[in-house]
A and B are shown apart, each in its own frame.
Chain A
Amino acid sequence: MKQAGIVIEMEHGRVKETSLGMITLAGRTTESLTALVMDGITDEVTDQLAAHGVHTIVDLVLPEAPEIRQNPAVRAAAVVQAVRDRGLDHVLGLSSPEGKDLLPRVAALLDAPLVMDCVDVDLEKGLAETSQYSGKVMAKIQLTGETQVFGVRPNAVPPEPKPVKADVVAMTGDKAVPETITLVSWDDGDAEGRQSLVEADIIIAGGRGLKNRDNFSLIFECAQKLNAVPGASRVAVDEGWVPYALQVGQTGEKVSPQVYIACGISGSIQHFAGMKTAKMIIAVNRDENAAIMANCDYQVQGDLFDILPELIRQL
Chain B
Amino acid sequence: MRIYVCVKHVPDSAANIHIVDHLKIDESVPFLLNPYDEHAVTEAVALKQQMPDSEIIAVCLGKKGAESTLRSALAMGADRGLLVETDAVCDSMATARALHAAILKDGSPDIIFTGKESIDSEGMQTQFRIGALFGFPVATNAASLDLTAGKAVVTCELAGGRTRTFELTLPCVIGAGRGLNTPIYPTFPDVVKSRKKPITTLALSELNVSAAPGSAKIVAMTPLVQKRTPRKITGAPSEQAAEIIRILKQEAKVLS
Q: Is the CB of B240 within 8 A of A307?
A: yes
Q: Which of A119-163 contact B (CB under 8 A)?
A: 127-128, 130-148, 151
Point out the residue from B92, B166, B238 that lies within 8 Å of A183, measured CB to CB: B166
Residues of B within 8 A of A143 (CB): 214-216
Known: A113-B215, A137-B222. A311 touches B122 (CB 8 A): no
Point out the residue from B19, B119, B153, B245 that lies within 8 Å of A314, measured CB to CB: B245
Residues of B within 8 A of A128 (CB): 216
Known: A98-B158, A201-B254. A179 touches B169 (CB 8 A): yes
B217-234 vs A, CB cutoff 8 Å, 1 = contact: the mask equals 111111110111111111
Q: Is the CB of A105 within 8 A of B128?
A: yes
Answer whether residue B202 sits at the interface, using C-beta atoms and an 8 A cutoff: no
Q: Is the CB of A295 within 8 A of B213?
A: no
Residues of A within 8 A of B131 (CB): 108
Residues of A within 8 A of B36 (CB): 251
Q: Is the CB of B179 within 8 A of A244?
A: yes
Nearest CB in chain A to that of B97: its residue: A111
Q: Is the CB of B119 within 8 A of A136?
A: no
Q: Is the CB of B252 within 8 A of A279?
A: yes
Point out the residue from A100, A113, A314 that lies within 8 Å of B241, measured CB to CB: A314
Nearest CB in chain A to that of B232: its residue: A299
Answer whether residue A169 sits at the interface, using C-beta atoms and an 8 A cutoff: no
Q: Is the CB of A269 within 8 A of B157?
A: no
How many residues on chain A are close to B (CB under 8 Å)? 104
Known: A104-B124, A135-B224. A202 touches B160 (CB 8 A): no
Q: Is the CB of A133 within 8 A of B11?
A: yes
B81-93 vs A, CB cutoff 8 Å, 1 = contact: the mask equals 0000000000111
Answer whether residue A250 sits at the interface, using C-beta atoms and an 8 A cutoff: yes
Answer whether residue A87 sits at the interface, using C-beta atoms and an 8 A cutoff: no
Could you write out 21 A-B pairs with CB less than 8 Å apart?
A104-B127, A112-B213, A114-B216, A117-B122, A128-B216, A132-B120, A136-B224, A138-B221, A144-B217, A145-B213, A180-B137, A186-B165, A189-B160, A189-B163, A196-B160, A197-B159, A202-B248, A259-B248, A276-B226, A282-B247, A295-B226
Known contacts A143-B214, A181-B169, A229-B160; 19 additional CB pairs below 8 A are A96-B159, A101-B140, A108-B128, A108-B132, A111-B212, A116-B122, A133-B11, A137-B223, A142-B216, A145-B212, A184-B167, A185-B165, A189-B163, A202-B248, A226-B255, A299-B233, A300-B232, A302-B240, A307-B241
Q: Which residues of B contact A (CB under 8 A)?
A: 11, 13-14, 16-17, 19, 25, 35-36, 91-93, 96, 119-125, 127-129, 131-132, 136-141, 153, 156-169, 172, 178-179, 212-224, 226-234, 237-238, 240-242, 244-245, 247-248, 251-252, 254-255
